[in-house]
Amino acid sequence: MRQDALLDNPGTADSLENKSKHISAVQQKFEAIFGDSPEFIVSAPGRVNLIGEHTDYNDGYVFPVAIDKYINIAVRERADRRIVLHALDVNESTELNLDALHPIPTDAPNWSYYLIGVASLLQASGNEISGMDAVISGDVPIGAGLSSSAALSVSAALAFVSSSKLTLSLNTGASEERKKEFAALCQRVEHEFVGVNCGIMDQTISLLGRADHGLFLDCRSLEYEHVPLNLDAHCIAISNTKVKRELAASEYNKRRAECERGVDILKQWIPSISSLRDISITDFEKYEGKLPTLTQKRCRYVIEENTRVLNAVSTLKARNQQPTEKIDNSLLTFGRLMNASHKGLRDDYEVSCSELNLLTDIARSVDGVIGTRMTGAGFGGCTVSIVHRDALETFHTRVMAEYQKQTDIEPEIYICNVSSGAQIFPN
């Protein structure tokens, strides 16, 4: 099997340069540890969601982009059933046996659960998985809400499939369907082995990302469309609060349960619904008084956010067809929708925090910033902003200085290119 055939999706020159640098580094580390070259290297990107937060597990709509930060795994197949793993960024190693993954070994580090989950689910589906030596490294910030976990599970899935030389259909159409299957498998890893009831957005964008495009994804049908961003003189800036998202997993599951509770109650009056995605804001307003106050707020946010995603995508599509002189007005509309999204996350869904709110306020004080919002599960992590390139220096200076002044925390700022999805590089 040609190792790079499954996922062949070129990125921008900047993205490829960054990717090449990290691929070379993980290859050298593999050679230093194992004394031989890897057979191939898998590279899967993190993501930032421009709009459509906490809608994915409600069967709604999202609009993420893959970013040029990656988890890379250098791999060589073994003749036995052992998996020897070295995670460079946390300076940890572990050895596993493919025949002894249940229950999860008590000494297995948390990050290895993603690889254990992938291997377990592939074997449970009747696949014969080979052992492997692997070195894992990357530059997706851990705990920042940029989906390092999805990038790890996606790269792990591709590593096991490729090292085991599983039979795959590699024509163009089948390849796209195969990516969806991989996304679903990686989502199950989060649910069944990590304990986070996440939606499917993060895994899908890591697999299906396209350079300079956002992915408009219907999280129910998994139908998607690559929408050109054409940011022109603008770029994507991600600001990291450096606040650990200690509440994110538990509160995430609470929000999901609250949304499901709202659907169960509303079925009394709208029996055809199966998720909040099926409810218009008009119908919701007729019956929202029947819901407990907290449930009402959670549901309102999700319903309104789905509408914002649809409007944002329509705005971008219309913008791509407009004369140049009207483009900036359309982008301003997109930015206003981002701002409204943050307000809903802060006030109704209540997954923001003081540091995220501060970063959004500082960013919006900079001329040339057209929209800013928290991104990811919340309770820490990052904001995402669309910034005019002429304003980048002011943006960087003000965010760094004001945030540190008010919190005594030095933030991190990443200026990101919109990248391609996961790839397999033969050595």
* Contact predicate 3/424, CB 8 Å: yes
Each residue's pLDDT expressed in tens, for the chain with a length of 427 residues: 233 333 434 444 445 565 677 788 899 999 999 999 999 999 999 999 999 999 998 999 999 999 999 999 999 999 999 999 999 999 999 999 999 999 999 999 999 999 999 999 999 999 899 999 999 999 998 877 888 999 999 999 999 998 887 754 333 444 777 888 899 999 999 999 998 878 889 999 999 999 999 999 999 998 999 999 988 889 999 999 999 876 666 788 899 999 999 999 999 999 999 999 999 999 999 999 999 999 999 999 999 999 999 999 999 998 766 655 555 678 899 999 999 999 999 999 999 999 999 999 999 999 999 999 999 888 899 999 999 999 999 999 999 999 999 999 999 999 999 999 999 998 8
> What length is written for the chain?
427
For residue 64, what are the β-bridge partners? 49
DSSP conformation class of 352: -
* Contact predicate 189/206, CB 8 Å: no
pTM of the model: 0.88
Residue 167: CB atoms within 10 A of its CB come to: 8
**With b meaning 16 or more CB within 10 Å and e meaning fewer, what string describes 319-332?**
beeeeeeebbebbe
H or E element, residue 207: helix 201-208
Rounded distance, CA 160 to CA 236, Å?
Answer: 33
| pLDDT the model gives residue 45 | 95
Rounded distance, CA 73 to CA 163, Å?
Answer: 12
* Contact predicate 82/97, CB 8 Å: yes
Residue 371: CB atoms within 10 A of its CB come to: 27
| pLDDT the model gives residue 253 | 84
| pLDDT the model gives residue 172 | 40
Rounded distance, CA 69 to CA 150, Å?
Answer: 12
Q: What domains are defined for the chain?
A: 13-228+419-426 (3.30.230.10)
* Contact predicate 251/351, CB 8 Å: yes
Q: Position 357: which residue type?
A: N
**With b meaning 16 or more CB within 10 Å and e meaning fewer, what string describes 91-118?**
eeebebebeebeeeeeebeebbbbbbbb
- Assigned token pair, 334: 């997109």
Question: Position of tokens 């009831």?
Answer: 197
Question: DSSP letter string over 49-64?
Answer: EEE-TT-GGGT-EEEE
Residues 6+ away with beta carbon under 8 Å from 197: 57, 190, 191, 252, 253, 256
For residue 156, give the nearest of 136, 126, 138 by alpha carbon. 136
* Contact predicate 205/221, CB 8 Å: no
| pLDDT the model gives residue 50 | 97
Residue percentage of the chain with pLDDT more than 90: 75
Residues 6+ away with beta carbon under 8 Å from 59: 219, 220, 274, 275, 276, 277, 278
Rounded distance, CA 372 to CA 302, Å?
Answer: 18
| pLDDT the model gives residue 309 | 98
Q: Which of 202, 361, 367, 408 is catalytic?
A: 202
Q: What pLDDT, in 10s, does the model give residues 316-363?
A: 998 766 655 555 678 899 999 999 999 999 999 999 999 999 999 999
* Cis omega (within 30 of 0) for bond into 38: no
| pLDDT the model gives residue 1 | 28
| pLDDT the model gives residue 21 | 72
202 is catalytic: yes
Helix, coil or strand: residue 199: coil
For residue 86, give the nearest of 38, 122, 45, 142 by alpha carbon. 38
| Phi, psi of 168, rounded to the nearest 5 degrees | -130, 150
